[in-house]
Structure 1
């Protein structure tokens, strides 16, 4: 049995303040016996005002939030899945990038969000992630103290082929950090995360943004930990807080022996046109 910590936060427009929240969470996760902390999408900055946010974007080597979390991970001897940061690529474009940081502060893995959220909602909200970000191209699985971790970010959740690829590559845990809007969260968050856990016979850990943010947007919260059977181990509701979930390798083996979906998968050809 290994313990994971999930941080549910309300990131704002000040990276230094967000970094302080993350550093405190690393210490709290360690004190609570967690081997690894999971944080939401856009943990370092959540700002829909592109002009204001522009001055905070930096490449990895200069990102103050990434540096602070790496230092805290090393200080407290705790792994961290930093859900994502807006990172300047070498070509000057942005990536929505997740990091897995080990207990020495070293970066073990990076993942750039592959599916970008471009949508007009019935509420009048309009999001065009592709206006600012370049999509990633490579799925990523990394060994961690909890097991093999497959990486995804928010809107990726709606594309089961990605999770099939991750579980085929050996992932036993799937990380889905997010900043879901309230309408889409209420409609789809729980059912999609449970479906991904069941399909992959894997644990799902989904740390989420919550509440009303400084830029005016509202996010759904409900950070979840789900076991391979689809049972919800942790639902953090709407409050910004730190929660804990137990990852039981025996539960994984039990579910995969009862419903061996990974062994039964087949390559599916293109559908015939009748």
Structure 2
């Protein structure tokens, strides 16, 4: 016989989530329209938490384009959009990244903002590790336009502990140790095709395995208006390192269910976190 408490208990044991994959353009209004449509699709599919990719609002022709789009903390159309979307759909919304103003006018903070089902902001994480690459014809230097954050951030979505990270952070396992204990790590990203094809899945699965938690990684995925090509392959990975859902390229929603029993099973059968000495 099912008791009245059973449905609530089942909710505590599971969390439906979705990662949004985009191919963002140089037009912020068009990007918000695409993001809104995909968020609605994810919410209609039952997701209680939806995560957007890095730079969902803009992949400009120049690195300085995001500086021109910067907003003061707590005010601006990008932040209003995220708040309104969370409240409209009654979801937890992790807003990829938004360029927020900092002390230096030539820089921004690449900020991952989290909004609760009531539309109120619950967390802010500023990307700590800034991407740099010099390989063949590819050159990237985020430090030219972004000011690095300094503080790891974890937030509570009801009974679920969620750690925040962004893209290049994925290569620095010491950051994720600072987030423990968590049930879920999110990694909004815009990995290049070159680095993504070589390392993306390996790194995501490693972070899930070593921290014995779920990893949800929304990404940019395709050929962009500015000529840049991103790897995509947004995915959900479970605490044993199994890829539960993935989309290779193009816009879409990668959905799945977090199961607390799966976390408990991984940690009980292989108690690596309790075996840590350093």
Please report the TM-score for the alignment, with normalisation by the length of structure 1. 0.92
> Does the 8 Å CA contact 1:26/1:78 hold for their aligned counterparts?
no
- Cα distance in structure 2, aligned partners of 1:246 and 1:51: 38
Q: Which of 89, 95, 107 in structure 2 is aligned with 1:82?
A: 95
Equivalences, count: 264
Point out where structure 1 has 5 or more consecutive residues left out of the alignment. Answer: 268-274
**How far apart are 1:49 and its partner, in Å?**
1.0
Q: Name the CA shift for 1:49/1:160 in 2 (closer, same or farther; >3 Å).
A: same
- Cα distance in structure 2, aligned partners of 1:3 and 1:156: 25
User: Which deviates more from structure 2 when the two are superposed, residues 10-19 or residues 108-117?
Assistant: 10-19
**How far apart are 1:48 and its partner, in Å?**
4.2
- Cα distance in structure 2, aligned partners of 1:119 and 1:239: 24
Please report the TM-score for the alignment, with normalisation by the length of structure 2. 0.91
Q: Superposed, which structure 2 residues align to 1:166-177 within 5 Å? A: 166-167=179-180, 170-177=181-188
Q: Which of 95, 105, 116 in structure 1 is aligned with 2:130?
A: 116
Q: Superposed, which structure 2 residues align to 1:92-241 within 5 Å? A: 92=105, 93-122=107-136, 124-145=137-158, 147-167=160-180, 170-241=181-252
**How far apart are 1:90 and its partner, in Å?**
4.6
**How far apart are 1:118 and its partner, in Å?**
1.6
1:40-99 CA distance string (max 9 Å, x none): 011111114145444322223443122112111111111101111122125433011101
Q: Superposed, which structure 2 residues align to 1:23-102 within 5 Å? A: 23-92=36-105, 93-102=107-116
**How far apart are 1:26 and its partner, in Å?**
2.5
> Does the 8 Å CA contact 1:4/1:34 hold for their aligned counterparts?
yes
- Cα distance in structure 1, aligned partners of 2:175 and 2:74: 29
> Does the 8 Å CA contact 1:176/1:207 hold for their aligned counterparts?
yes
1:15-38 CA distance string (max 9 Å, x none): 111111222222222211111101
Point out where structure 2 has 5 or more consecutive residues left out of the alignment. Answer: 1-13
Structure 2 residue 264 is the aligned partner of structure 1 residue 253: yes
Does the residue aligned with 1:210 lie in a helix, a strand or coil? coil
- Superposed CA RMSD: 1.4
